A and B are shown apart, each in its own frame.
Chain A
């Protein structure tokens, strides 16, 4: 089950698309905010300069030279003149200026400006412009005006902050929208891949059969169909091959073994027959192991639930006297071996237990050190401690067993070989009351 944060931060296509969309949008938004900021600043500067310029212009127009040859503002217009403009004569002496404001350092520094100059200092913008006084030959003056830039900066900041907030909303919105769109678009892909995986494991006949439409999903469906076809063909070929191999190899072995058995009945003193039977059994065990391994290599699942394997095994049991109790919860234990191998490792041990049990066979599972052990216990007469290991040799039979040892004496040898091939083992963990065999597999 995917958790929300895993979906958000995982490496899924959806998360990747959402994150890259967010990153691209964020870069665009930052660039946009920067450009807008520059434009606003430029506009503000232009506006201030225009305001200062017109102020200076108006003052310049009212400049006169009085009777004493001194520079003065035309009296008739003095009231209308903007009194926030400083007027300096050519020598730098202050002629007029804002009534309450003293001469600040920036104003003083600009009083002798020879060309038009601007200056920003302490939140104010200053404009100094030398002018020629109308109606005179060579009288000139320097006019200085100033304006606070604070209102403009505040407007700019508000605009930029709003833009940034909008940018965050846009980035989050775009990312969410792209995640949603991708998720929605990919949903059929998820469904199709899950179905295909399920079919390839359990149902080799079903196909998508998307004949209508020519979009990407139809294409994907057709591709998956052809893959399923190939899987099905490969599995069927493999099953047919192993079935034929099994038949071709085991049928003559059956005849050889039968002939030897009949020979032994006719001439019980000749030990050769017993040796032939032993050799046939060894060969048979090898064939079984090889076939099981060949099958599992092409099989689709590599893990098995011992509970399910036991359910299959108990269904397939021939009539027997003892009761089989399986105490393995479904889904609790998973072993890293294909079900066929688990079956072939546990099956013979179960058969053996059933042959010797008087009333009950108990099958359970325990987990330890990264392995899972399926234990098969019976209430039969038990295993001679001296034979703890030899019972796993091919061809070992114990005539004292209840039905005269009808088996070929292969089962336990086979079980061990298969378990070892799957990375586990089979051992006797208790020789009597109850007799317990343990079939160990690596944990999934």
Chain B
């Protein structure tokens, strides 16, 4: 038995999922959109596994996942989506997802995958950075203020904030920030990093975005 968080906007799918998970003796916490999910699941340890629909009305499920990771929520995430192209799947993994099920799914498959995710041991999450990402408005809040970001800046920052203190490689930052397969030059990435750094400073961020020459970037 585990606590399973669901974020799905369609009431019928939500009910079917809830019922199916309850039949398998799981506790289910339900949210209907990105905002509710941030409120319900941001706290570390609030759920054991998360099922997140990618096509939410107010945010992209992948951006929500990154925001949750930044807040310190490191429960495994299973994405549900109506899109099943390879690039959609890859972008889900880059956004910190752990598995992927395409609609229409079999409930049995969801249960098997949830069990598999619960069995997997995860590395101990690092101390959160104190940044709060808002997947709906693409903004970052700190104790001192708030800054608006573009979707790409948001995804870059989220990739770094999900692993505070660790150096995130340039390639991983590109994979998180841009659609799969996009060609991004070094200069473009650097100029984005400069903009994110400036916005963090504007918002009075407690952490600093540091460039590790030739390797990548780190928030500390």
Contacts and interface: CB of A to CB of B under 8 A. Distances in A.
Interface stretch (A17-25, A129-137, A244-252): A244-252
Interface in B78-109: 82-87, 89-90, 93, 98-100, 102-109
B82 A404 contact: no
A316 B89 contact: yes
A319 B86 contact: no
A249 B120 CA distance: 33
Nearest to A199: B183
A325 interface: no
Interface string A235-261: 000000001001101111111111101
7 contacts: A243-B83, A246-B82, A246-B83, A257-B106, A258-B13, A262-B23, A407-B109
Contact of A202 (B13, B100, B183): B183
B186 interface: no
A214 interface: no
Contact of B13 (A255, A309, A318, A347): A255
B86 A313 contact: yes
A403 B112 contact: yes
Interface of A: 202-203, 243, 246-247, 249-259, 261-262, 265, 280-281, 284, 288, 295, 309, 312-313, 315-316, 318-319, 340, 343, 347, 403-404, 406-408
A202 to B, nearest CB: 6
Contacts of A253: 103-104
Contacts of A261: 16, 20, 106-108
B93 to A, nearest CB: 7
Interface residues of B, number: 37
Contacts of B84: 288
A258 B120 contact: no
B181 A202 contact: yes
Interface string B100-126: 101111111100110010001000000
Interface of B: 10, 12-13, 15-17, 19-20, 23, 55, 82-87, 89-90, 93, 98-100, 102-109, 112-113, 116, 120, 181-183
A247 B112 contact: no
B109 to A, nearest CB: 4
A253 B89 CA distance: 20
Contacts of A254: 10, 12-13, 16, 103-105
Contacts of A403: 112
Contacts of B107: 258, 261-262
Contacts, number: 107
Given A250-B82, A253-B104, A262-B107, A319 B182 contact: no
A408 B105 contact: yes
A410 to B, nearest CB: 9
Contact of B104 (A262, A280, A309, A340): A280
Contacts of B109: 406-408
3 tightest Cβ-Cβ pairs between the two chains A and B = A258-B16, A255-B12, A316-B89
Contact of B10 (A246, A249, A255, A257): A255
Nearest to B89: A316
B19 A262 contact: yes
A238 to B, nearest CB: 13
Contacts of B85: 295, 340, 343
A232 to B, nearest CB: 13
**Which of B17, B82, B84, B105: most chain A CB closer than 10 A?**
B82
A256 B83 CA distance: 18
B96 to A, nearest CB: 14
B13 A203 contact: no
Given A251-B10, A261-B20, A407 B90 contact: no
Contacts of A247: 55, 82-83
Contacts of B55: 243, 247
A343 B86 contact: yes
A253 B99 CA distance: 21
A319 B99 contact: yes
Given A313-B86, A407-B106, A255 B16 contact: yes
B157 to A, nearest CB: 20
A318 B126 CA distance: 24
A319 B120 contact: yes
A172 to B, nearest CB: 44
